[in-house]
């Protein structure tokens, strides 16, 4: 492998730190809470890259095609040469030799109109193809129309990224790129091994679990309560699915635990958490504060912290994180699935819309709502469905699904990210017609959907 200093030498455009025997020192001031901070710090500590003049790294900034050429060629090529004029929009600029070298060796291609578009940002799928190709990784052939699937499978099976959280057309960020290249660098020097075996075990696997199930946690200074059902089949050496079940505005977590039927339908093979919204005593509970931004609702932090705590204490399958909700809980579930699409595998919601439109990953979904619902507008549910179809790359084609709820399955979605829509009409409860109800088959249908993924 090339010297570590070459691996990402030109990561920062405009403030290039040339590699030498002197390593970069300090820590960029904007990476302390970034999930890729260790990879970024590794590059700094090895004198690989410098940040911006203001002391930041910009981990969430997107990378363009010219920048990424410097990164991947710095990781694998000693002599770039001095190529230029290989495209109408690639003449003698600073990036010309990298682009021209990459084109000559088939690392990257131009567009059908004959241009390279150096300032265009790079999608996740494109970045994986470029980087894995430059590291000579054999990813196999596509078994479907999705050309990027072998690249997704490679990073998934080798524990770099989870394919369940990847959107092919989402632009890759500097932090994500740093992490990707860092992992490939470590594998090249033998520090880690790519064996093609997906590791789904959380940090709690192998640990003795708490003597009693947790029922409270402090989140942002507030003690939050929840009900926890530890499946009878839990084994601290076998990763198990985890399900978060959110209640509506008026029903408590105790009430929804009874009528969701998730405990029974899980057959003891899940940990199910029923958080309590605020104010816990009701009557109008919520999962957000007035004025919250849709992409930063108050109880996103509750979900994040509970997931981390349970993954640390119990043996959780990190690829089997599910969320369920009814009414306001459905709205929160739908919104959370978009904001945490890189973590959540699938959701099941009944009677709710959404208020977010920029998603972090695809999420398999089954959503149910009576078109005559008089408490949650059906138009909001349609908006939520359309968001999920966009999020998961689905077309409008459908086929019947199951035998209850008038369900249809959208058949042309991103692999592993199906969308099911159920406009049920059988809403009779105690002899009365209640279109906002949780159907008595909802728990079983949702759990069957989760189990079939």
What's the pLDDT tens digit per position in 395-446?
999 999 999 999 999 999 999 999 999 999 988 776 778 899 999 999 999 9
Contact call for residues 306 and 218 (beta carbons, < 8 A): no
**Does pLDDT of 390 surpass 50?**
yes
Torsion of CA 204, 208, 212, 216, to 10 degrees: -30
- Per-residue model confidence as pLDDT tens digits over 161-184: 999 999 999 999 989 998 998 999
Tens-place pLDDT, residues 76-114: 566 788 889 999 999 999 889 989 998 888 878 899 999
Please give the backbone phi and psi of residue 154, each rounded to the nearest 5 degrees, phi first. -65, -50
Token look-up 């993954």 returns: 311
Closest CA to 102 of 65, 137, 148: 65
Answer for the pair 231, 208: CB distance below 8 angstroms, yes or no.
no
pLDDT given at position 74: 64
Q: What is the pLDDT of residue 75?
A: 54
Whether 17 has a pLDDT exceeding 80, the answer reads: no
How much is the average pLDDT of 55-74?
Answer: 84
Cα–Cα dist 242/272, whole Å: 6
Model confidence at 357: pLDDT above 80: no
pLDDT for res 432: 78
Res 21: pLDDT:
30
| Mean predicted lDDT score pLDDT of the chain | 90
For residue 150, pLDDT beyond 90: yes
Query: What are the pLDDT digits (tens) for 214-239?
Result: 999 999 999 999 999 999 999 999 99
Sign of CA dihedral 261, 263, 269, 274: positive
Nearest residue to 51 via CA among 26, 21, 85: 26
**Please, which pLDDT band fits residue 25 given cuts at 50, 70 and 90?**
low
What percentage of the chain reaches a pLDDT higher than 70? 92
In this predicted structure, what is the pLDDT of residue 94? 86
Asked if residue 296 has pLDDT above 50, the reply is: yes
**Per-residue pLDDT, 81:** 82
Range with lowest mean pLDDT among 48-52, 265-269, 278-282, 377-381: 48-52
Give dist(CA 336, CA 361) in Å, integer: 11
- Directed axis angle between helix 300-313 and helix 328-339, to 10°? 70
* CA 75 vs CA 5, 90, 228: distances in Å: 9, 22, 47
What is d(CA 81, CA 126) in angstroms, rounded to the nearest whole number? Answer: 24
Domains in the chain (CATH in brackets) are 4-188 (no CATH), 216-451 (3.40.50.1820)
Question: Mean pLDDT, to the nearest integer, of 286-307?
Answer: 96
In percent, the amount of the chain with pLDDT more than 90 equals 74
Cβ atoms within 10 A of the Cβ of 329, count? 30
Mean pLDDT throughout 367-393? 93
Backbone region of residue 260 per phi and psi (left: phi > 0; alpha: psi in -120 to 50; beta: other values): alpha
Closest CA to 359 of 328, 336, 327: 336
Q: Is the pLDDT of residue 47 over 90?
A: no
Lowest mean per-residue pLDDT among 4-13, 214-223, 329-338, 405-414: 4-13
Average pLDDT over residues 181-203: 94
Instruction: Evaluate if residue 12 carries a pLDDT over 70.
Output: no
Report the C-alpha gap between 311 and 337 in whole angstroms.
19
Task: Report the alpha-carbon distance of residue 387 to residue 359 in Å, rounded.
Answer: 9
* Gap between the Cα atoms of 90 and 96, Å rounded: 6
pTM of the model: 0.88
């Amino acid at each position: 492998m090339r010297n570590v200093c070459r691996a990402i030498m030109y990561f920062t455009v405009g403030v290039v730190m040339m590699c030498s025997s002197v390593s970069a020192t300090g820590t960029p001031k904007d990476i302390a809470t970034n999930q890729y901070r260790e990879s970024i710090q590794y590059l700094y500590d090895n004198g690989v890259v410098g940040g911006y003049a203001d002391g930041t790294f910009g981990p969430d900034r997107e990378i363009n095609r010219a920048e990424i050429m410097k990164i991947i060629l710095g990781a694998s090529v000693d002599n770039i040469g001095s190529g230029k004029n290989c495209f109408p929009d690639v003449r003698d600029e600073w990036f010309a030799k990298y682009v021209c070298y990459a084109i000559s060796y088939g690392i990257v291609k131009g567009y059908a109109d004959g241009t390279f578009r150096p300032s265009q940002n790079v999608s996740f799928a494109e970045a994986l193809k470029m980087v894995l190709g430059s590291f000579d990784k054999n990813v196999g052939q596509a078994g479907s129309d999705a050309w990027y699937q072998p690249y997704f499978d490679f990073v998934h099976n080798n524990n770099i990224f989870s394919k369940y959280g990847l959107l092919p057309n989402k632009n890759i960020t500097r932090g994500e790129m740093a992490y990707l290249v860092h992992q490939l660098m470590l594998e090249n020097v033998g520090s880690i091994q790519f064996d093609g075996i997906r590791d789904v075990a959380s940090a709690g696997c192998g640990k003795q679990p708490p003597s009693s199930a947790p029922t409270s946690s402090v989140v942002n200074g507030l003690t939050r309560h929840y009900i926890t059902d530890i499946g009878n089949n839990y084994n601290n050496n076998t990763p198990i699915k985890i399900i978060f079940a959110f209640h509506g505005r008026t029903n408590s977590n105790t009430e929804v635990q009874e009528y969701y039927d998730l405990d029974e339908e899980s057959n003891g093979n899940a940990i199910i958490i029923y958080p309590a919204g605020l104010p816990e005593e009701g009557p109008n509970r919520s999962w957000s504060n007035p004025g919250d931004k849709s992409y930063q609702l108050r109880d996103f932090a509750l979900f994040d912290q509970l997931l981390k705590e349970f993954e640390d204490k119990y043996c959780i399958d990190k690829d089997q994180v599910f969320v369920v909700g009814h009414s306001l809980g459905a709205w929160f579930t739908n919104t959370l699935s978009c904001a945490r699409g890189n973590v959540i595998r699938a959701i099941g919601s009944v009677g709710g819309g959404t208020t977010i439109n920029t998603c972090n990953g695809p999420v398999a979904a089954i959503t149910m709502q009576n078109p005559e619902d008089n408490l949650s507008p059906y138009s909001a549910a349609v908006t939520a469905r359309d968001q999920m179809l966009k999020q998961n790359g689905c077309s409008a084609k459908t086929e019947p699904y199951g035998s209850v709820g008038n369900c249809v399955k959208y058949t042309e979605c991103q692999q592993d990210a199906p969308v099911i829509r159920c406009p049920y009409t059988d809403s009779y409860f105690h002899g009365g017609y209640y279109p906002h109800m949780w159907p008595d088959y909802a728990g079983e249908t949702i759990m069957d959907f989760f189990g079939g993924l």
